[in-house]
Structure 1
């Protein structure tokens, strides 16, 4: 006798359609992301003067955790994952997670009941610590040349 051990299917809530305007925020986020990506794709940030310069880098010469993100978006949009990782590995690795979170947001608003993702307390400390460590390591120490854009 065999038993089916497949995960439980996603259940649909009783609500058939979201209240009016509830999907406006995810739509706005998607529109802004698509518009920003379209701008970056048409203005090569690898060329001097192609796009804007990070204000922190322009004033201090230090790379912030977001430095290289524009070039990473350009590289990802052109299918160059290795180039994007070289520009800003933290941002590049966060892109798929941000996509999954956006899809879950829309599914919840559409009435799907999804399993909760537990957010452990330590993660609230670890995330800022990783960003701060990335900031320091890309500006000083032996990893500076490896992590700088």
Structure 2
């Protein structure tokens, strides 16, 4: 019986411009380049624009239907059952104030929602700029420690806004 033949080494590719496969001997696979032009940029912005629409449409509704007028939106179940402001209480009024450019009113209605709105806007802007440039979207993952910090912030905010010392964090009664 004959032993199987040893594989023959593959000769290296010559240096220079890549061939039809996009390979050269020194750089390996080439990253795909993004097509240029406004149509390609618009295609890359589909997901960020869809996310913007998913947030802007409900915000436009809250801007049009004033949550400060009783009867338009349901009352928070925790507030109704206990009389305590939850971390989200005043959030609709906050969004209404933000859509009308009233930053101080928004911060008074719900400081956490105001801060979260600006953080979300910054993250969305970063995503949109990366998409427009043809760069991959960032992967956002929350670690266990970050989730614990977020829950702690929500609980502390809920408790403090219900204490006399945190009265400025509570939304005005409707």
TM-score normalised over the length of structure 1: 0.71
Please list, as runs of the form range in 1=range in 2, the aligned pairs for 1:40-119 lying within 5 A after superposition.
Answer: 40-110=62-132, 111-112=134-135
Structure 1, unaligned runs of 5 or more: 1-12
2:33 corresponding residue in structure 1: 14
For residues 76 and 52 of structure 2, the distance between their equivalents in structure 1, rounded to whole angstroms, comes to: 23
Please list, as runs of the form range in 1=range in 2, the aligned pairs for 1:110-149 lying within 5 A after superposition.
Answer: 110=132, 111-112=134-135, 123-143=146-166, 145-149=167-171
Q: Can you list the C-alpha shifts for 1:88-145, whole angstroms capped at 9, x where unaligned?
A: 011112211101111222334442369999x8986444332212110111123521x2
For residues 143 and 164 of structure 2, the distance between their equivalents in structure 1, rounded to whole angstroms, comes to: 31
* Matched residue count: 134
1:7 corresponding residue in structure 2: none
Shift of 1:68: 0.6
Secondary structure class of the residue paired with 1:112: coil
Shift of 1:23: 5.3
Structure 2, unaligned runs of 5 or more: 1-31
Question: Contact 1:40–1:51 at 8 Å: present in 2 too?
Answer: no
Q: Mark the structure with the bigger radius of gyration.
A: 2
Secondary structure class of the residue paired with 1:142: helix
Calculate the aligned-residue CA RMSD, in Å: 3.2
For residues 58 and 25 of structure 1, the distance between their equivalents in structure 2, rounded to whole angstroms, comes to: 38
Distance change in 2, residues 1:34/1:116 (3 Å): closer
For residues 121 and 70 of structure 1, the distance between their equivalents in structure 2, rounded to whole angstroms, comes to: 29
